[in-house]
Structure 1
């Protein structure tokens, strides 16, 4: 049986709404595909949800965010809108071939994500 780990994160959308005004923040935290999505959606909830995925991913790994760059964990959506995670760089090495499952939710005030690594 494979080990399964879970990470969860929650953030106030207003914190991310302020931060995404900075191009430097966007490039440090989000992948190019995520930045394109965030700019096209024009709402902070999208950015906040994806930020939560990065934090939840780090918690599920058990490493925190010190061992990889946040932009190495990218949340995209399939044709039905279901989110999925792609990884690159050190995040990919740390994942070591394991799979992920992700769920994101938000209100006007809060965003949250759960990541399962299995």
Structure 2
């Protein structure tokens, strides 16, 4: 069953302006080490790479119904790639606690994430599924 969904549209030029104005301070405040490394490997599309990740953080915060309140912080939400290469989220701190608190007993939360960009826009959709645990 779906227990949360969220979306966000982020302007890539806005992220570029923040990179130009605040540089590493902005990156360190918002993005995980893995996300920063991914952006650094893509120097010509760094702003787009980070904008998609920014949108994913916003979309997740909407999917759990808190926004960036109640202990949910941007750096607690990190975009990573599954073994298949598909993007997903690695959650820590308040983001993990919020997800755990909204997951019904006897279920596990599965986060589905899709990202896209077409300059000047980056977009993310998050769907949170509660999947019944199977007896082993």
4+ runs deviating over 6 angstroms: none
Q: Does 1:104 align with 2:107?
A: no
Alignment partners' CA distance in 2, 1:31 and 1:64? 18
How far did residue 83 of structure 1 move? 0.5
User: Which has the larger displacement, 74-83 or 19-28?
Assistant: 74-83
Q: With the length of structure 2 as denominator, give the TM-score of the two structures.
A: 0.80
Q: Does 1:63 align with 2:48?
A: no
Greater share of residues in helix:
1
* Aligned with residue 52 of structure 1, among 55, 59, 74: 55
Aligned residues: 117
Output one character per residue of 1:64-117: Cα deviation in whole Å (capped at 9) or x when no partner.
Answer: 112311011000123443101100011111110522000001012100000011
- Matched residue, 1:9: 8
- Matched residue, 1:114: 125
Larger Rg: 2
- Matched residue, 2:40: 39
Q: With the length of structure 1 as denominator, give the TM-score of the two structures.
A: 0.92
